[in-house]
Structure 1
Amino acid sequence: MDTKNIIAAISLSLAIIVIWSLFFQPSPEEIKKRKEKEKIVNSSDAPSIDTNEKITNLSRKEALKLDGRFYFENESIKGSISLNGATIDDLIFKKYKTQLDSDQSVTLLNPKATSNGYYIESGWVSNNKNIDIPNNKSIWKIEGNSKLTPNNDVTLIWKNSQGLTFEKIIKIDNQYLFTIEQKIKNDSDKIYSFYPYAQIIRTKIPEIIDFFILHEGPLGVLDDQLIEKDYKDILEKKYSKNADSGFLGITDKYWLTSIIPQKNKKFRADFEYNEKFKVNYIETDSYDSKPNAQISNIVNVVVAAKEVNVIDGYNESLGLKKFDLVIDWGWFYWIVKPLFFLNDYFFKLAGNYGIAIILITVCLRLAFFPLNNYAFKSMSRMKLVQPEMARLKEIHKDDKMKLQQAMMQLYKKEGINPVSGCLPILISIPFFFAIYKMLFVTIEMRHQPFFGWIKDLSEKDPTSIFNLFGLIPWDPPSFMIIGALPVMMGFTMWLQQKLNPAPQDEIQKKIFMFFPLFLTIILAPFPSGLVLYWTANNILTMAQQYVIMKRTTVKTAS
């Protein structure tokens, strides 16, 4: 009975996450086997990509003035591309603000001359050291149109003294996709071999959440295998893999920078750190540039806010596989992603993201209504027979064997299975975790209001019980901000405990009394949308449990 009570309490609280980490995360042996499969592969003849340069500390404004530039803009993004290396190093999301009450848009990419440089390069390399090839310091010239829009492409030209003309034709769609067509025209009488490449460079590790249910850092899908590397992994060891298909990039919680090789071309992908973090690929089959002929290659670049519909759209339109995994749906992909679409439907229906969370919580409770009924009936009957159980313990306090026999007879008489509530709860745990995961990793909840004081469901409740939720003119320190919504969640959890059978052991009883307070403190800094979900779930659980308790009787109690 004690085990059942513990599982019931934990499954309806934040400790669902702990259960997930214990039962569903890969074991050390599994992790070791995966690492053994990730072999370093450098057997191709493709040359290395050597584009190192010193890190400087110019401000972003100063760095943008250093180079010649041309500008781009569409409905979703704006920024500029440096003519120094033809580098995409200035990108702003027009629809997303840094803070709810701010007019400043989110900036993702920064020039290489800043301390937090984050940029994308593309080009060609060769094993022939005598060929003059444009690099990250070469100055390109604009030919024709000088502003990049969905209706206007920009063409860049760079020529050497050996009769080679390098050309980049850059296109942009109305969302987050850059298409770069790279060409080489050979007006010499010699044959040269080239390898196309693209790379993402990030100067330093950004501020990350560092929470086990969310991956932030280098990732890719190479030959249908998802590769996720933490920044510290790359610091310790370079990762390389030859692949026939896929993509690679760097992901933040809400933002993505990715490069996608041309289809049907083999390439080597590298995740490495060499003064800067680099995620790059180079095609492993050479392009032979013959006299009076032209070679070309296409690289797609997606720098996006990780909107689910947009990411899924690129997965289909670019002919990719598993591009949607840049959103960290996790092990329960088959539950989490459908839950998102259901929640998104409710959001469009209700017009309020908080209402959508409540509605999807109701759906979840309805889906598990029969299972929970079964569990709650068992718990209710256990609670009603507690006086009889206490009497038996007093009678047989010196004989454990007789006590166990008497308890089994009582269970048989009343038709009670003391562990009957465990299975339904265990089955429902993945679904409760899935909705938590869905709300945590998707951008759609960002800056969405609920009602009253909750202006942003992706942020913690801004009020605090220590200044009576704003009635006292005092701003408590951050560790003392325990808002009204977390307090409500803790209170509903405390009420829910009152409906459950009380543990017979005094120590367990004290632990359970402290549990709602503990979770209130733990959940206080969590996004308000998650706390709202737990609060709504607690209320619905109590309502169902209360009705069942009123209808449940036992022979002993009559």
Structure 2
Amino acid sequence: MDSKNVIAAISLSAAVIIIYGLFFAPPPPDPKKINNEKNNIVESTSEAPSLDQNVEVSKISRNEAIKNEDRVQFENSTVIGSISLVGGSIDDLTFKKYTNTLNGDDNVILLNPKKVEDGYYIETGWATANKNINLPNSKTIWTIEGNNKLTPNSPIKLSWTNDQNIKFIKDISIDDQYLFKVNQTIINNSEKTYNFYPYGQIIRNLAPEIIDFFILHEGLIGVFDDQLVEEDYDDIEEKKFSINADKGWLGITDKYWITSLIPQENRKFRTDFDYKNKFRANFIETSATEIGANETKSNEIKIIIAAKEVDVIDGYAENLNISKYDLAIDWGWFYFLVKPLFFLIDYFFKLTGNFGIAIILITICIRIVFFPLANYSFKSMAKMKVLQPEMTRLKELHKEDKMKLQQEMMALYKKEKVNPVSGCLPIFIQIPFFFAIYKVLFVTLEMRHQPFYGWIKDLSERDPTSIFNLFGLIPWDPPSFLLIGVWPCLMGLSMYLQQKLNPTPPDPIQAKIFAFFPLFLTVILAPFPSGLVIYWTINNILTMAQQYVIIKRTTVKTAQ
């Protein structure tokens, strides 16, 4: 096999291996996470007490659980829900702008009351090591003072007084998006001095159903002293995670939604991620707040329960000075490429009003940026195609002497100034942007339920048509593994036509492998988001146009 065949085989193998590694193989272990695991359980030097939770889960419906408790309603332009006066927890929240299905009327519900099977809620409060003090807990019934509905223009106040004459107050406000602020105040009307530790915790009874694509984290998350920590649900079931920090945030993240807590600035805290029949992400300050007789002290906790809109998440990170809060959106290891690519796509979307057109414009921009490099590669490939007869002649002439054949081939490449390796460049140029486009389509909420034209109603989902029912002409719904739609077929066809512009491998077996490759990728990429397949197809068409022009020019020049 001559060097051209070797390079061709390597190129094909590399493409398959890289695509497999990016989308199907388990990710390599994160070195930072390995280091974290060595110190996963941090021995706290503070006296901050642990946070216990003994709420029983009932088999009642969500509506029953909401009706069975007195509540304070809240609403703004993005969310609607209620706060239970039993425990003072935020346990009922629905997103007003997002539905579970395309064109559906069932809005996304994120938080559920604690006694429901899939309860998901947030608690704030005070803890103490003094067992003689009565503190508000999950069963405490709070009293509302003043406003009985929480809106951006009307905060609410909840209060409760224990038998030691210590009054606890929660002043809760909400902005017009996803931010709650809970200002907790203790008024010590007794004659004694006490130590209290403010805390906040997010509790989720059950882990949600997760489709593991190996490129997206769903589970417990936090940034502690600028260090990102991501723990999967199954990891926390096996082992508790605990860490002390001077600053940061913590939460539970889904693909498109996040629930997070931001402790008060300049206060050290301990965070625990654990599982005791339910998942918990909590923090507690490690330095006590000492409250003397007839003294009042306060603490503020910020709570963000958000749809992960890029502008909103970035806005909170900047305006509230939350360290690395933009990582609530899982941009991945290629953050430096994926996030700028999103902003460029979003810019084109605002110009055109269609994310599909924006993807096509991005594809054109990428081709323009790499035009000189691709030109060099295609010129080399065109020369290789022109030199094929001479290469075949040398192969026949030196078929008994492989060493001599290699020397003559290298001399021919040098004489004609051909670099066989340059033919790999188009593949390696496409792979990072292929991955980046896929990541943008997969993780950004802005791409969810965005249509293109015709039958593509959601660019973040696969092409819904199938060649096996003649794209809808036959009244039969094929199973999902047979859904190979129009756009995947167009992509496969464009790859096949592009191959015809490349030098044909002289080895018949290798030629058959190359011929099979477009079909292979068509089947593999059919389940991928249609926006990604559109990108790949348009990129192939632009590549063919550029390659065709170069081949024609190279052929004419050689003939002269």
TM over 0.5: yes
Secondary structure at the counterpart of residue 456 of structure 1: coil
Secondary structure at the counterpart of residue 81 of structure 2: strand
Q: Distance in 1 between matches of 2:120 and 2:463?
A: 32
Q: Percent identity, aligned pairs only? A: 63
Is the Cα contact below 8 Å between 1:385 and 1:554 reproduced in 2? no
Q: Distance in 2 between matches of 1:388 and 1:377?
A: 18
Q: Indicate how the Cα distance of structure 1 residues 534 and 7 shifts in structure 2: closer, same or farther if over 3 A, else same.
A: farther
Structure 1 residue aligned with 2:286: 284
Matched ranges for 1:241-320 at <5 A: 241-320=243-322
Letter in 2 for 1:463: T
Matched ranges for 1:96-245 at <5 A: 96-245=98-247
Q: Distance in 2 between matches of 1:250 and 1:504?
A: 56
Structure 2 residue aligned with 1:43: 45
Q: Indicate how the Cα distance of structure 1 residues 10 and 544 shifts in structure 2: closer, same or farther if over 3 A, else same.
A: farther
Structure 2 residue aligned with 1:372: 374
Is the Cα contact below 8 Å between 2:24 and 2:214 reproduced in 1? no
Q: Distance in 2 between matches of 1:426 and 1:24?
A: 21
Q: Distance in 2 between matches of 1:29 and 1:334?
A: 19
Give 1:37 shift: 5.5
Structure 1 residue aligned with 2:485: 483
Q: Indicate how the Cα distance of structure 1 residues 222 and 281 shifts in structure 2: closer, same or farther if over 3 A, else same.
A: same
Q: Distance in 2 between matches of 1:198 and 1:335?
A: 35
Single out whichever of 101-110 and 381-390 deviates more from structure 2.
Answer: 381-390
**4, 8, 11: which one aligns with 1:5:** 8
Q: Distance in 2 between matches of 1:7 and 1:205?
A: 43
Is the Cα contact below 8 Å between 2:46 and 2:286 reproduced in 1? yes
Give 1:526 shift: 1.6
Q: Indicate how the Cα distance of structure 1 residues 34 and 185 shifts in structure 2: closer, same or farther if over 3 A, else same.
A: closer
Is the Cα contact below 8 Å between 2:374 and 2:425 reproduced in 1? no
**310, 329, 332: which one aligns with 1:330:** 332
TM-score between both structures, scaled by the size of structure 2: 0.95
Secondary structure at the counterpart of residue 420 of structure 1: helix
Letter in 2 for 1:474: W
Q: Distance in 2 between matches of 1:490 and 1:332?
A: 27
Single out whichever of 452-461 and 351-360 deviates more from structure 2.
Answer: 452-461
Q: Distance in 2 between matches of 1:449 and 1:497?
A: 31
Give 1:365 shift: 1.0
TM-score between both structures, scaled by the size of structure 1: 0.95
1:434 aligns with 2:436: yes
Query: Structure 2 unaligned runs (5+)?
Result: none
Is the Cα contact below 8 Å between 1:218 and 1:271 reproduced in 2? yes
Single out whichever of 50-59 and 249-258 deviates more from structure 2.
Answer: 50-59
Structure 2 residue aligned with 1:55: 57
**514, 525, 529: which one aligns with 2:527:** 525
Q: Distance in 1 between matches of 2:95 and 2:315?
A: 18
Give 1:9 shift: 5.3
Give 1:10 shift: 7.2
Give 1:25 shift: 6.2
Is the Cα contact below 8 Å between 2:23 and 2:215 reproduced in 1? no
Query: Structure 1 unaligned runs (5+)?
Result: none
Is the Cα contact below 8 Å between 2:379 and 2:550 reproduced in 1? yes
Is the Cα contact below 8 Å between 1:191 and 1:288 reproduced in 2? yes
Letter in 2 for 1:498: K
Single out whichever of 503-512 and 131-140 deviates more from structure 2.
Answer: 503-512
Q: Distance in 1 between matches of 2:545 and 2:557?
A: 25
Is the Cα contact below 8 Å between 2:244 and 2:270 reproduced in 1? yes
Give 1:57 shift: 2.3
RMSD: 2.2
Q: Distance in 2 between matches of 1:420 and 1:213?
A: 30
Q: Indicate how the Cα distance of structure 1 residues 39 and 275 shifts in structure 2: closer, same or farther if over 3 A, else same.
A: closer
Secondary structure at the counterpart of residue 422 of structure 2: coil
Letter in 1 for 2:8: N
| Deviations 1:180-229, CA, capped at 9 Å, x for gaps | 01111111001111101111111111122311221111111100011111
Q: Indicate how the Cα distance of structure 1 residues 524 and 424 shifts in structure 2: closer, same or farther if over 3 A, else same.
A: closer
Secondary structure at the counterpart of residue 220 of structure 2: strand
Give 1:116 shift: 1.1
**408, 411, 418: which one aligns with 2:413:** 411
Letter in 2 for 1:454: I
Secondary structure at the counterpart of residue 63 of structure 2: helix
Is the Cα contact below 8 Å between 2:251 and 2:258 reproduced in 1? yes
Q: Distance in 1 between matches of 2:228 and 2:341?
A: 22
Is the Cα contact below 8 Å between 1:374 and 1:421 reproduced in 2? no
| Deviations 1:530-556, CA, capped at 9 Å, x for gaps | 111111111111111111111113987
Q: Distance in 2 between matches of 1:241 and 1:507?
A: 57
Give 1:262 shift: 0.5
Q: Indicate how the Cα distance of structure 1 residues 557 and 214 shifts in structure 2: closer, same or farther if over 3 A, else same.
A: farther
Secondary structure at the counterpart of residue 552 of structure 1: helix
Secondary structure at the counterpart of residue 555 of structure 2: coil
Q: Distance in 1 between matches of 2:351 and 2:273?
A: 43
Secondary structure at the counterpart of residue 170 of structure 2: strand
Secondary structure at the counterpart of residue 139 of structure 1: coil
Is the Cα contact below 8 Å between 1:306 and 1:327 reproduced in 2? yes
